[in-house]
């Protein structure tokens, strides 16, 4: 596992795949603020709530000069279905199965449930400044009220 990225680090410029097969990179957002929110899996209760909350605030994030990007390891087609099912407007992208952005950030971690261990996404949000450096990190995110807290931080940055 790589070192966990933290405040002051430059966000690694590792390509993600959008729902339409397009490529999205953190460097695409240089010059403006970016919220990268990583979540475990599409269409699960916590992840659905988190995506709906960020989507509901998408206009306010835009007014704050901040782009949104949701990221999981789910494939692009699954993201497209998930976004359509819940009318999500916060863009989603797929991280590579191996050596992806989550790996580079140190948030693709070993988890355990019911006595079995597996690799999974640690729900983490990064607020990246216009210079491409991480300005704030939320680890092991609790979904309730999270999008509002991130919006407040984006407005202050």
Phi, psi of 16, rounded to the nearest 5 degrees: -115, 160
CA pair distance 87, 62, nearest whole angstrom: 18
Q: Which residues of 17-37 are buried (b: 16+ CB within 10 A; e: fewer)?
A: bbbeeeebebeebeeebbbbb
| CB neighbour list of residue 32: distance below 8 Å, 6 or more residues apart | 65, 66, 67, 130
Structure tokens at 121: 């996404």
Tell me, yes or no, if 47 is annotated catalytic.
yes
- Identified catalytic residue from 11, 34, 47, 154: 47
Task: Catalogue the active-site residues.
Answer: 47
């Amino acid at each position: 596992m790589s070192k966990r990225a933290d405040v002051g680090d430059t966000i690694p410029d590792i390509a993600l795949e959008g729902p339409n097969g397009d490529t999205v990179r953190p460097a695409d957002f240089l010059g403006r603020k970016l919220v990268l929110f990583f979540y475990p899996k599409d269409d699960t209760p916590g992840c659905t709530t988190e995506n709906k909350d960020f989507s509901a605030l998408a206009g306010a994030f835009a007014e704050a000069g901040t782009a949104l990007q949701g990221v999981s390891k789910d494939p692009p087609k699954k993201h497209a279905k998930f976004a359509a099912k819940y009318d999500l407007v916060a863009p989603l992208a797929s991280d590579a199965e191996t050596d992806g952005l989550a790996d580079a950030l140190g948030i693709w971690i070993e988890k355990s449930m019911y006595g079995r261990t597996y690799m999974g996404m640690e729900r983490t949000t990064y607020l990246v400044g216009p210079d491409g450096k991480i300005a704030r990190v939320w680890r092991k995110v609790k979904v309730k009220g999270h999008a509002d807290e991130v919006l407040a931080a984006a407005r202050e940055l």
